[in-house]
């Protein structure tokens, strides 16, 4: 019953008074519609505020007026429909025509996903010290639950952080401890992060980097140091 009533209210808010079942609320039709308008305005405002809080760098890049215009259009077109406030930014990047803006939105959304990801002990370079080469190559690793990598379609990296060089191809997001961290990354890093979604021997990841990364297999050390992988109990 409650789910049915909630669905009826949602349909009325989205599609108009003709979708409001007779007798759902007490009072005259005019009073009910006034109440629904207030409710709709409250929900809309909360969604707009949630988008502002989710995408602060995007708002800075676009300017407050353009950001507010785009976020309002996103909400009014149903882009936030059936989403909790914490999740309404999931599709916002796809709403943006500006490639730099879309990249910024994707990175900020990945940042939020990383922030809320499960905890896990990050693999450290010190954990690999003292072993021989054969043992190192068969060491099992997996992607850290908080690790994300976002390929960039445009030159958005300096808009995210002035420390990033123009032409940066991807952004790695990690949270090995309490703090979310961003790193410039290479497209080959994305293949390695994806390959480590399931447990993988470290040697396989080194081979992938050796094929496609300008730093060769040694680039695995940078990924480990960034906190991209989690420990696997053997």
Torsion (CA) 21, 22, 25, 27 in degrees, nearest 10: 150
Q: Considering the entire predicted model, what is its pTM?
A: 0.78
For CA atoms 10, 15, 16, 19, the dihedral sign is negative
Q: Which domains does the chain have, with CATH numbers?
A: 2-96 (no CATH), 119-230 (3.90.930)
CB 173 within 8 A of CB 193: no
pLDDT in tens, the chain (234 residues): 435 444 444 444 444 445 555 544 445 555 544 554 544 444 455 677 788 889 999 999 999 999 989 988 888 777 666 656 567 888 899 989 999 999 999 999 999 999 999 999 999 999 998 878 899 999 999 999 999 999 999 999 999 998 999 999 999 999 998 899 999 999 999 999 999 999 999 999 999 999 999 999 899 999 999 999 998 976
């Amino acid at each position: 019953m409650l789910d049915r009533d909630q669905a009826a209210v949602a349909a009325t808010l989205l599609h108009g008074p003709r979708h409001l079942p007779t007798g759902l609320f007490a009072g005259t039709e005019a009073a009910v519609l006034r109440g629904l308008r207030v409710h709709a305005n409250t929900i809309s405002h909360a969604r707009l505020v949630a988008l502002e809080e989710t995408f602060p760098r995007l708002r800075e890049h676009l300017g407050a007026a353009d950001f507010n215009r785009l976020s309002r259009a996103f909400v009014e077109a149903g882009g936030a429909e059936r989403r909790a406030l914490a999740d309404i930014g999931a599709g916002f990047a796809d709403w943006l025509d500006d490639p730099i803006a879309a990249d910024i939105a994707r990175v900020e959304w990945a940042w939020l996903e990383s922030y809320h990801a499960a905890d896990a002990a990050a693999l450290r370079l010190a954990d690999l010290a003292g072993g021989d080469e054969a043992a190192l190559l068969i060491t099992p690793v997996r992607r850290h639950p908080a690790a994300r990598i976002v390929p960039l379609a445009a030159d958005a990296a300096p808009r995210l952080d002035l420390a990033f060089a123009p032409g940066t191809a991807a952004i790695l997001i990690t949270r090995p401890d309490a703090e979310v961290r961003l790193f410039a990354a290479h497209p080959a890093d994305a293949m390695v992060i994806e390959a480590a979604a399931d447990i993988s021997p470290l040697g396989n990841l080194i081979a992938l980097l050796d094929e496609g990364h300008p730093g060769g297999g040694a680039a695995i050390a940078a990924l480990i140091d960034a906190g991209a992988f989690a420990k696997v109990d053997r």
